[in-house]
Amino acid sequence: MNSSYSQCCQDLAAQSIFKNPSSYLDVGSGDPIDCSNTFALDNLGWDGICIDKGKHDYSIRKCQFINEDAMIALKGLTGTKVDYLSLDIDDATNDALKIILESDIKFKFATVEHDLYRLGEDYQSQQRKMLQSYGYNMIFGNLFPSWCVDAIYEDWWTHPDFFPKTLGINIDGDSALKLIKDTFT
């Protein structure tokens, strides 16, 4: 397994869950390399779509890069099925999540930011209710980087047909990765 480019080992978690190259959708992908949840996956042969409205040069990446607002881009992906979803567009994450769910964009594993540390419990609660209403299960809740325990910012989800159990709450990314490796090996 390679080193992580992600803030909380999201890329390593996806690699551990899906042994063979798979597919991903990275919404709010940001910089093509720095803090990327999917750059390492490209290098392992995954097929992916990155969406970001920022002015980034994705020529180094193998993914399809859609350089527009996620709310517009997602509507063009109705019915898409991916193994891994990375969702992080700050204050608009819940709006994008609603479009994803209503547009029948399916995923087996997702890392979804709620930024509890700055947006509060109501935002997080709305997000969790949306995902649960579509049958998704939270396998890790309230993740934070090991270097900043006050920055609780993300939950990890799976589709119940793929993996139906919760593994941990209030956990740092390194510990979550260890549990995923133990569970999926």
Q: What is the pLDDT of residue 90?
A: 81
Whether 53 maps to a domain, the answer reads: yes
Q: What is the pLDDT of residue 171?
A: 64
Q: What is the pLDDT of residue 147?
A: 61
Domain region containing 75: 10-184
Whether 3 maps to a domain, the answer reads: no
Q: What is the pLDDT of residue 182?
A: 77
Domain count, the chain: 1
Whether 137 maps to a domain, the answer reads: yes
Q: What is the pLDDT of residue 183?
A: 74
Whether 2 maps to a domain, the answer reads: no
Report pLDDT digits (tens) over 26-56.
999 999 999 999 999 999 999 999 999 999 9
Q: What is the pLDDT of residue 115?
A: 73
Surface-to-core class of residue 52, CB atoms within 10 Å of its CB (0-12 exposed, 13-18 middle, 19+ buried): buried
Whether 80 maps to a domain, the answer reads: yes
Whether 139 maps to a domain, the answer reads: yes
- Distance from C-alpha of 97 to C-alpha of 146, rounded to nearest angstrom: 26
SS3 111: strand
Q: Token pair of 58, please? A: 């994705």
- Distance from C-alpha of 143 to C-alpha of 30, rounded to nearest angstrom: 20
Whether 99 maps to a domain, the answer reads: yes
Whether 66 maps to a domain, the answer reads: yes
Across the beta sheet with 64-66, the strand order is 64-66, 47-51, 23-27, 81-87, 106-113, 154-158, 137-143, 168-169
Question: Which residues of the chain fall short of a pLDDT of 70?
Answer: 1-2, 116-120, 143-152, 164-172, 184-185
Q: What is the pLDDT of residue 98?
A: 96
CATH, residue 91: 3.40.50.150
Q: What is the pLDDT of residue 100?
A: 96
Q: What is the pLDDT of residue 106?
A: 93
